[in-house]
Structure 1
Amino acid sequence: MADLLRLLLRVAEKAANVARVCRQEAPLFQLLVQEKTGEDKNKKFVQDFKTLADVVIQEMIRHDVGTQFPEMAGFIHGEESNKFENGLGESVTVTVCSTEEETAALLATVLDGDHTAASLLARAIHQDPTTIDTSTDGLAVPLNPSELGVWIDPIDATSQYIEGREEALDEGHLSPSGLHCALVLIGVYLRSTGEPVMGVINQPFNHRDPAGGRWRGKHFWGVSYGSINICSVSTTKDGPKGERGLSAVLSSSEKQVVKETLTSLCGPDKLMYASGAGYKILCVIQGLADVYVLSEGSTFKWDSCAPHALLRALGGGVVDLTKSLQASCEAQDCKTELTYHQPHNECKGADRWANHGGLVAYRDCSQLRSILGALRDKL
C-alpha cells in the first residue's frame, strides 16, 4: 500500500503538471480557451480540447497504475470516454503509448495534425515529476492490490479550470471560485464492499512561485482501513465546537429551502459557497467548513471517492443525504456512507455512477446529526 500511495502521489503530480502546461504553453492554451467560430464548429477537437486534457490525464494515470499493478488494470475507472472524432471524421482512441514520440503521434491525429500542441502534451505526460516529499515509509495496510479499484477525476471543477480566474487565496478561508477549485482526484476503494480506503488530492494551482511566477501545487492524502487511519492533514480543530458554531459550504445553486434551513442553523456568516464538489469536500477536510451539504444527485463516484477516504481517516465521512434523512437510527450507526463498487443499473451512462441521494461530507458525527436534524422534515 505504501508503494501504491507513492505511485498515486507521483501520477497525481504528473496530472497537475499536464493541467498547468495546458494553461502555460501558448499553443495548448489557445486550444483550451478558443471559442468555436465559423468552420471550426465542425472541428470537434477544438470544442473538446478541455475534454481531451481530461482524457489525457485519466489515461496517463490508468497507464501508470496498470503498468506497476497489473492486477488493478481492469478496475481503474474515470469520468471520461477516451474516444474522439477528429476533423476528418476519424474515430481515435486516446491512450498513453510506451514512448513520448508514439504518444505525440497519436495525439496529433486527434488534433488534426497540430504536432506542436501534440508534442507539448506528450512531453508533459511522459515527464516524471520531481520527488514528492511525503513520508509513506512503514505504511503497512493488510490489503492486496487485487482487492482494490480506482476512481479518477482528472480535473474536477473543469469550468473553473477553463475560465482560469485567479482569486486571492486568504490563509484559513475557502476560495469561492477560480483556479484554486480545480483538483486532481484519485480514490481507491475495496472491490468487495465499495469502502474508500485511500485518497490522493492534488491542487495544481495552489500558489504562484514568487521567483518565476509559475503555479505550484499542493497535495493531500489519506489512508483508512480498519484501525489504520493516517492523513496528511492535521486533525487539530480551532477551539470548542460550541464556541465556533457550525459552518457549512454549499453550491450556489442549492435549493432555497436548504439555504434557509442552514442559515437558521449556522447563521448567515457561517454559510459559504464554493465551486467544485471535490473542492468543497477538501474545505471540510482542511477545517475551512464543518460540513458540505448537497441535496441534488449531481455528483458522481469520481468526485467523492478520493476526498471521502481522507475524511474517513480524520474520523468523518460522506453519507447519502436522502438515505440518512429516511433512517431512524443514530447517524454513526446508519449504513448510509457512500460506496463505490456498484452502479445504478436502472440508469444509463454517467448516471449509473451518480450519488443520486445527495450527500453530506463531515468531520464530526455530532455536526452531521445537527445537519440531519435540521433538514429531516424539510426535504
Structure 2
Amino acid sequence: MAGLLQALVGVSEKAAQVARLCRREEPLFQLLVAEKTGPDRNRRFLQDFKTLADVLIQEVIKHDLGKEFPELRGHIHGEESNEFRNAQGETVTVRVCATPGDTAALLLSVLGPERAAAELLAAAVHRDAAPGDVELPDAALSVPPRDLAIWIDPIDSTNEYIGGREDVAPVDGIAPGGLRSALVLIGAYDRHTGCPVLGVINEPFFRRDPLTRRWQGRYHWGVAYGDTRLCSLSPPPPPRPTPRLVLSRAEGGPVRAALGPLCGDGDGDGDGHGLRFAAGAGYKLLCVILGLADAYVLSEGSTFAWDACGPHAILRALGGGVVALAGALRARRAGDTGPPPELVYNRPAEGAAGAERWANRGGLVAYAHPQHLEAVLAALATVPGL
C-alpha cells in the first residue's frame, strides 16, 4: 500500500502540473480562454479544450498507475470518456503513446493546427513524475493492489478552472469560488466492499508565489483500511458548539431553512453565520477535511463516485465519513439506531445509464464529528420530500 499511495501522490502532482501548464503557457492558455468567449469556442474542433485537458490528465493517471501496478489495469475509472470527434468527423481515442512525438501527433488530430499546444501537452505527459514523499509504517501494508480499484476526477470544479478567478476572497478560510476550488481527486476503494481506503486531494492552485507569480500547489492523503488510520493532516479541531456548514449555492430553500437554526441563524431564513457556500464538490469536501467546516450537506444527486471517493477515504482516516443522505433519513424515520449508511463506490445505480450510473443519488452529508452528523440528520428529518 505504501508504494501505491506514493504513486497516487506522484500522479496527482503530475496532473496538477498539467493543470497549471494549461493556464501558464500562452498557446494552451489561449485555448482555455476560447472556452469562455462563446460562439468561437468550438470553431476548430468539436469538443472544447477544457474537456481535452480533463481527458488527458485522466489518461496520464491511468497510464502511469497501470504501468507501475498492472493488476490495476481495467480497474481505473474516471469521469471523462477518452473519445473525441474531430473537425473532420473522425473519432480519436486520446491516450498516452510510446513517445512524446507520437502523443503530440495524436493530440494534433484533435487540436487541428495548434502544434505548439500539442507539443507542450505531450512533453508534460511524458515527464517523469517524482514519487510522493509518503512514508507509511509496516502496519499499513496489508491490502494488495489487486483488491482495489481507482476513481479519478482529473479537474474537479472545471467551470471555476476555466473562469480562472484569482482574487476571490475567502470567508472564514472558505473560498466561495475561483481557482482555489479546482482540485485533482484520486481515490482507491475495495473492489468487493466498495469502501474507500486511500485518498489523495491535490490543490494545484493553493497559493501564488509573490516573486515569480507562478501558482504553487499542495496535496493531502489519507489511509483508512481495517484498523489502520493514517493521514497527512492532523485530526480535526474539537467540534464547534454551533456547527459551520458548507453548501452549494444551488441548495434549495427548505434545506437552508432547516439548517439555519442549527448554525445559529435565529430567524430560520437559511442565511445564518454558520452557513457557508462554495463551488465544487471536492472543494467542499476538502473544507470539512481541513476543519474549515464541520459538515458539507447536499440534498441532490449531483455528485458522483469520482467526486467523493478520494475525499471520503481521507475523512475516514480522520474519524469522519460521508453518509448517503436519503438512506440515512429513511433509516432514521424507520427507527434504526445503527450507524447511517456510508457511500460505497463499487455499485452502479440500478436503471441508470451513462454517468448517472455513478451518481450519489439522494445526496450526501460529509462530516468530521459524529455529533454534527446527528444534528444535521435531525434537522433534515423535518424537511418534507427528503
Same fold (TM over 0.5): yes
* Unmatched runs of 5 consecutive residues or more in structure 1: none
- Per-residue deviation, 1:224: 0.1
Deviations 1:118-139 (A, max 9, x none): 0011111112345644434646
| 2:76 corresponds to | 76
Cα contact 1:327–1:334 (8 A) shared by 2: no
Q: 2:331 aligned with 1:295, yes or no?
A: no
1:376 aligns with: 381
- Higher share of residues assigned helix: 1
Q: Distance in 2 between matches of 1:130 and 1:321?
A: 39
Correspondence 1:241 to 2:246 = no
Q: Does 1:257 align with 2:254?
A: yes
1:172 CA displacement: 5.8
Task: State the distance in 1 between where 2:188 and 2:234 align.
Answer: 21
* TM-fit CA distance, 1:196: 0.1
Residues 82, 93 of structure 2: 8 Å contact kept: yes
Is 2:59 the partner of 1:62?
no
Q: CA deviation at 1:151?
A: 0.2
Pick the aligned partner of 2:275 from 271, 275, 278.
Answer: 271
Whether contact under 8 Å (1:182, 1:203) holds in the other structure is yes
The 8 Å contact of residues 247 and 277 in structure 2, kept in 1 or not, is answered as: yes
2:154–2:185 CA contact under 8 A, matched in 1: yes
Q: How does 1:195-344 map to 2 (within 5 A)?
A: 195-237=195-237, 239=238, 241-242=240-241, 245-267=242-264, 268-328=272-332, 333-334=338-339, 336-344=341-349
Provide the rounded CA distance (Å) in 2 between the counterparts of 1:260 and 1:71.
48
Give the Cα separation in 2 of the matches to 1:139 and 1:280. Answer: 31
8 Å contact from structure 2 (residues 168, 178) kept in 1: no
Corresponding residue for residue 267 of structure 2: none
Look up the equivalent residue of 1:241 and give its one-letter code: R
Q: Which sits farther off after the overlay, 323-332 or 245-254? A: 323-332
TM, length-normalised to structure 2: 0.93
Q: Which residue is 1:43 aligned to?
A: 44
Contact 2:45–2:112 (Cα < 8 Å) also in 1: no
3-state SS of paired residue (1:357): coil
Q: Distance in 1 between matches of 2:145 and 2:130?
A: 25
Number of residues of Structure 1 aligned to a counterpart in Structure 2: 374
Deviations along 1:210-252, one digit per CA (max 9) or x if unpaired, are 2311000010000001110011111041x5533xx11100001
SS for the counterpart of 2:140 is: coil
Deviations 1:27-74 (A, max 9, x none): 111111213546x645335x5110000000000000001111111111
State the shift of 1:331 in Å.
Answer: 8.5
Contact preservation (8 Å) 2:236, 2:368: no
The alpha-carbon deviation at position 102 of structure 1 amounts to: 1.2
Q: Which segment is superposed worse, 9-18 or 325-334? A: 325-334
Distance 1:332 1:186 in 2: 32
Which one-letter code corresponds to 1:256 in the other structure? G
